Amino acid sequence: MIKRIVVSSVLFLITIVAYPQFTASGTGKYIQVTGNAVKNIDAVFLFNGITSDNQVQFTGSASSYSWTTYGGTFVSTDSKISVEDNTGYILTVDGGTPYYIWVIDYSKYLASLNSLTVFEGTDKCSSIALNFGGTIPDLVYYDKNNSKQTLTRQFNLSYADLEYSSGQWSGITRSQTVTAPISSIQVDAPYKDTSFTLSGDQYATLLGITASVASDTYTAIRVECHPEGSIVERDAANESGRKISTLEGSGPLNVSLKSNANLPVTQFYEWKIYNVVSPNNYLRYTDTDLRYVFNETGTYKVLLTVTNSVGSCSYTDSLNVIVSSSFIDVPNVFTPNGDGKNDQFRVSYRSIGDYKILLYSSWAGRVYTSTDPAQGWDGRVGGRLAPPGVYYYLITATGTDGKKFKLKGNVNLLRSKGAN
């Protein structure tokens, strides 16, 4: 007994379903095609070779059967009949509404898949064509009205490729359905060297028949990049807004830039970095990845163009980097008592380029000086604890936006008893 495969289709996508009225038996596999895959007929049977023992049987409950061909020739009064290729049968059960079926010996209509060759057109950097060589016979049947119909034959085209997702390129297998008749198949140009395989049709696959053709290896020319940047953060707890968003923060802003291009097809890189207010005044780099320090406040465009080895395909993408405006805020009190809170006199700042602070006391003169706004005074002079009291500061600085700061004032040093 053969394995029964019952096939229906919605929008010509073959799925396995039950159709209780008919079954088949005999040598080899068969498919029963019903539903939306056929028009104005109850079922089309495809056999992988028809011999004298292949039969179709009505499985419903009935007391009388009358089988004839489409041409009106009497066949049988049994529930089952032997079948022949390219023949339609009409079954009347208990004198009711007749059923119509058609039988095809699929082995006589096999697709001949001979060649698959790549053609690069004018849009070769985004799509290419595959020229098909071979023959795909029509699978013809006739419906209840004796009108000629054709089963849709669908083939599968597959090829290895790359896909960019979640910040990285990964290997995938792309697949698409191709419906006969076939002369040329349009596909997205691949991101890696690959070969294309056409297989099927869907009936051959279900019948266990292997049929396919592969192209020669295609040398990819398509390139694509996905530039990304990340701020290289500084160890400065008192730097306010050192990272506001992914690519916005306090200047000077040290940014690591990655090209994320498809390799090895991409061979050449051109980075252009410029302030958006003066796009013609740009800096150019040819590194795969790079690190760049944005020293001045403003909005910058980072433009990356990648190219393949022969310059036939290129791709451009960009991102924006924002360096925030500057400010300095000076506290009026600090408590160097060793509790880990407010133990140093530090300014709060953002986007400061040049900086100098002088700190004085009335009893010892200058007690602290620094050119780094990230640093602070720990309340010691010559290694010894400075006494509580009022200290005076003078700060001169320049922001990355050119803003000048000249600040002076006083800060109170407070200590609790026993502080060290």
Q: Express each pLDDT in 1-52 by its tens digit.
A: 333 333 333 223 333 334 458 999 999 999 999 999 999 999 999 999 999 9
Summarised one tens digit per residue, pLDDT across range 67-122 is 999 999 999 999 999 999 999 999 999 999 999 999 999 999 999 999 999 999 99
User: Does the CA dihedral 185-188-192-198 come out positive or negative?
Assistant: negative
Please give the pLDDT value at position 419. Answer: 52
Please give the pLDDT value at position 415. Answer: 87
**228-323: CATH homologous superfamily?**
Immunoglobulins (2.60.40.10)
Summarised one tens digit per residue, pLDDT across range 333-377 is 999 988 889 999 999 999 999 999 999 999 889 999 999 999 999
Summarised one tens digit per residue, pLDDT across range 243-253 is 999 999 999 99
pLDDT tops 90 at residue 238: yes
The total of other beta-carbon atoms located within 10 Å of residue 232's CB is: 12
What is the DSSP secondary-structure string of 65-110? EEEEETT--EEESSSEEE--TTEEEEEEETTSSPEEEEEEEGGGG-
Q: Give the chain's end-to-end CA distance (angstroms, integer).
A: 95
The mean pLDDT value for 261-272 works out to 98
The mean pLDDT value for 183-191 works out to 97
Please give the pLDDT value at position 18. Answer: 40
Please give the pLDDT value at position 340. Answer: 87
The mean pLDDT value for 278-306 works out to 97
DSSP-assigned letter for residue 205: H
User: Does the CA dihedral 20-21-26-31 come out positive or negative?
Assistant: negative
DSSP-assigned letter for residue 181: S
Q: Is 75 exposed, middle or buried (0-12, 13-18, 19+ CB in 10 A)?
A: middle
DSSP E strands: which ranges in 201-241? 212-214, 228-231
Residue ranges per structural domain of the chain: 4-108, 111-214, 228-323, 327-413
Select 327-413's CATH number: 2.60.40, 2.20.25, 1.10.1740, 1.10.260: 2.60.40
C-alpha 53/C-alpha 24 separation (Å) is: 10
Residue 409 corresponds to which tokens in the numbers above?
Answer: 């004032």
Please give the pLDDT value at position 384. Answer: 92
Q: Is the Cβ–Cβ distance between 411 and 345 less than 8 Å?
A: yes
The mean pLDDT value for 266-282 works out to 97
Summarised one tens digit per residue, pLDDT across range 131-170 is 999 999 999 999 999 999 999 999 999 999 999 999 999 9
Please give the pLDDT value at position 195. Answer: 98
The total of other beta-carbon atoms located within 10 Å of residue 152's CB is: 17
Indicate the average pLDDT of the chain: 93
pLDDT tops 70 at residue 294: yes
- Range in 7-16, 284-293, 302-311, 323-332 the model is least confident about: 7-16
DSSP E strands: which ranges in 36-73? 43-47, 55-58, 65-69
CATH of segment(s) 111-214 = 2.60.40
Nearest to 322 by CA among 282, 383, 382, 277: 277
Q: Do domains 4-108 and 228-323 have the same CATH topology?
A: yes
In the chain, the amino acid numbered 352 is I
Please give the pLDDT value at position 339. Answer: 87
Q: How does 105-139 read in b/e, with b if 16+ C-beta sit within 10 Å?
A: bbbebbbebeebebeeeeebbeebbbebeeebeeb
Please give the pLDDT value at position 4. Answer: 33
In the chain, the amino acid numbered 105 is D
Please give the pLDDT value at position 9. Answer: 30
Please say whether the structural domain 4-108 has been given the CATH code 3.40.190.
no
